[in-house]
Amino acid sequence: MSESYLKHWIPYRLIKNENSYSCRWLYTNGDPFTRPFFSEFINKCLGHRYNSTAFKPSSDLSILLEWAQDLNSTAPTAFIFHVSRCGSTLISQSLCLNKHHIVLPEVPFIDEVLRLSKINDWPSPENREELIKALIKIYGQTTERSEKHLFIKTDSWHIHFMPLLRKLYPNVPFILLYRKPNEIVRSHQKLRGMQAIPGVIPNDLLGIEKENINPADLDGYTIKVLENYFKSFIRASKQDPLTLLLNYHEGIINMMQRFCKFTGLELNKADWVQIEARSHFNAKYPDQVFQEERPEGTIPNYQKQAFSYYHELEKLRITQIANT
C-alpha cells in the first residue's frame, strides 16, 4: 500500500469476528501524540468529522503486515517499562516537548495486540510477532519527515511481555522505572489504576496466582502485583545488559540525564529548560501544580516482601551507576 493512503491514519480498536480479528481505523489529522495518555488522544480524534460519520473504516487485522512494509517509519529508540505511579508519565511528557520525538504512552491497541500473543486459536506464532512489529511501525510513521526518535511507554503489566519484546527488538534499550512500594500503594489508594483492582486485568497478565489473592483486600492485591513487577525487573536487570534501572526518587532531571546517556539521546538547552518547568506540574494533569505526599510510619508486614525486592533493585541500580 502506498504510504499516502495511511498518512494520518492509525488502527485503534480490535474487533473479534467469528474466525478472525479486524481493526477499526482512526484519522488523527496529523496531530502529535502529546497527551499524558493515548486514550485521551483517541477521544480528541473521535470528534473529527472523518471519525464521526456513520461509515467506520475497518480492515482485517492481518493486512497490517502488508500495509506496514513500505511505510517510512522511525524505529523504536527505547521502551519505557514501569511499575505504575513512578514517574513514567512525567518522562514521556518530557520527551513530548521535543517536536522530533514520537511518544506513544500506553496505547490501547498495542495492549490488545500484545494480549493476542496469549491466545491459542489465532494466528500462527510467527504472524503474531510480525504483527506487533507491523503495528509499531504504523504508529511510528514519519509523516512530516522530521521525526527522529520513537519512544514507547508500555502499560505496567507489559513488564511481563519484556521477553517477547526483547526477542522482537534485540538492540533497543529497555528503561525500567520503579518506586518504593508503600508510595505506590498510597497513590493507588487515592485513585486506583486498572492493575490495582482485582479482575480488571487478567491475573495471568499480571503474573499472579488467583488462589493466592483475596479480591476484597485491594492493598494486598496491589502489593502482589508489585512483587511480581519487581521480580521481573530484577530478572531483566541481571540478564539483559540493555536495561536501565531508574528510581523515581532520583528526580526528573537526574533520571532524564541517565536516560539520555543510556539511549544516546541528545537534548538541547531549550529542552532541559522545558523539562525543568514541566516538572513542577502534575504529570497526569498538566494544569495542576504538583504536590507530593509521602506515607509516614513503619512498613506494614504485608509490604515487607515487596520492599525486599525493592532494595535488591536499588543495589542493582547503584551498581549500574558505578559502572557507567
- Distance between CA atoms of 1 and 237, rounded to whole angstroms? 40
Position 208 confidence tier, pLDDT thresholds 50, 70, 90: confident
The terminus-to-terminus CA distance of the chain in angstroms comes to: 45
Give a yes or no: residue 26 inside a domain: no
Q: How many CB atoms neighbour CB 189 within 10 A?
A: 13
Give a yes or no: residue 249 inside a domain: yes
Q: Which three cell numbers stand for residue 36?
A: 499524558
Angle in degrees, CA 66, 166, 161, rounded to 5: 90
pTM: 0.93
Give a yes or no: residue 100 inside a domain: yes
The predicted-structure confidence for 214-272, as pLDDT tens digits, reads as follows 888 999 999 999 999 999 999 999 999 999 999 999 999 999 999 999 999 999 898 89
Domain count, the chain: 1
Res 148: pLDDT? 87
Res 122: pLDDT? 60
Angle in degrees, CA 259, 265, 267, rounded to 5: 100
Torsion from C-alpha of 126, 132, 138, 140, nearest 10 degrees: -130
The predicted-structure confidence for 265-292, as pLDDT tens digits, reads as follows 999 898 899 888 877 765 555 555 455 6
Give a yes or no: residue 150 inside a domain: yes
Beta carbons of 175 and 259 less than 8 angstroms apart: yes
Q: Residue 163: which domain range?
A: 68-322
Give a yes or no: residue 222 inside a domain: yes
- Distance between CA atoms of 161 and 50, rounded to whole angstroms? 34
The CATH number of the domain where 115 resides is what? Answer: 3.40.50.300
Give a yes or no: residue 6 inside a domain: no
Give a yes or no: residue 209 inside a domain: yes
Beta carbons of 84 and 41 less than 8 angstroms apart: no
Give a yes or no: residue 129 inside a domain: yes
